[in-house]
């Protein structure tokens, strides 16, 4: 996750935790709402199968969140990772008890589908946090693209396949993203400012028209707070965009 975004998310969760510790019961509902996707992903990754909100494991996770909130000490590190560790441990405890009480042989357990070590590397939880944040960014991007009558599932087939072509398309996007007038045109007219780009930036109009949807997507990622999706686009550049 982008460092600033991660700090903002941690600060919000920390403030909710303070409200909860200070006796505000409504804060617990806000914490559950914020953490539900994370809790379900921790459960799913620990169990090796998808966990839904009405599954027993999800109920155990909610109880684990309350336990973690009561035990949390800022000196113990970041709150999501601490909460994730408590959830994971309680799920493992539940699976151990379930295995002991059942007469059924759990082949998955013997094959290592459940990982019984109590501690895992922080990357176990950071990967989950990044995955959730990336999905949230994709959903927001999808809403923005629909304003341009572009659907995110069609973009892979419309994206430039050649590296040089892709770089030129990305450079066109960066030119627009760096210029307020060009951005305003795009957002207002819902189309590329082709005339201005061709006259003032000598861009290849044919390339811009062919990869219009990809360029619009790239601009929206550049100008919005989508730090994880920017991994799929080269760093912003200014200047001339040429293609032979």
| pLDDT of amino acid 123 | 78
| pLDDT of amino acid 104 | 43
| pLDDT of amino acid 119 | 57
Sign of the alpha-carbon dihedral angle for 217, 148, 142, 31: positive
Residue pLDDT tens, the chain, 244 long: 444 445 556 778 888 899 999 988 889 999 998 899 999 989 988 888 889 999 999 999 999 999 999 999 888 778 888 899 899 999 998 888 877 665 444 444 444 444 444 556 677 888 887 887 788 888 899 999 999 999 888 877 778 888 899 889 999 999 999 999 999 999 999 999 999 999 999 999 999 999 999 999 999 999 987 877 877 655 444 444 444 4
Q: Where are the alpha helices (DSSP H) in 22-78?
A: 26-47, 56-71
In whole angstroms, give the CA distance from residue 8 to residue 13. 9
| pLDDT of amino acid 3 | 45
Contact 211, 217 (CB under 8 A): no
* DSSP summary character for residue 190: S
Q: How many residues does the chain have?
A: 244
Tell me the Cα Rg of the chain. 23
């Amino acid at each position: 996750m982008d460092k600033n975004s991660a700090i903002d998310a941690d600060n919000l969760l920390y403030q909710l935790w303070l409200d909860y510790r200070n006796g505000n019961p409504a804060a617990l509902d806000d914490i559950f709402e914020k953490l539900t996707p994370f809790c379900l992903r921790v459960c799913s990754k620990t169990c090796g199968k998808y966990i839904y909100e009405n599954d027993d494991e999800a109920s155990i996770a909610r109880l684990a969140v309350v336990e973690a909130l009561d035990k949390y000490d800022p000196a113990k590190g970041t709150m999501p990772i601490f909460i994730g560790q408590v959830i994971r441990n309680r799920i493992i405890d539940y699976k151990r008890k379930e295995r002991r009480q059942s007469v059924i042989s759990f082949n998955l357990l013997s094959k290592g589908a459940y990982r019984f070590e109590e501690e895992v590397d922080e990357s176990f939880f950071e990967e989950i946090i990044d995955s959730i944040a990336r999905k949230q960014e994709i959903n927001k991007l999808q809403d923005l693209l629909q304003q341009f009558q572009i659907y995110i599932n069609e973009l892979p087939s419309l994206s430039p396949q050649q590296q040089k072509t892709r770089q030129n398309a990305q450079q066109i996007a960066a030119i627009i993203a760096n210029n307020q007038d060009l951005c305003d045109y795009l957002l207002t007219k819902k189309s590329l400012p082709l005339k201005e780009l061709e006259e003032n930036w000598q861009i290849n109009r044919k390339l811009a028209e062919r990869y219009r949807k990809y360029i619009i997507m790239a601009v929206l990622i550049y100008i919005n707070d989508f730090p994880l999706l920017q991994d799929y686009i080269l760093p912003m550049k200014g200047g001339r965009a040429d293609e032979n």
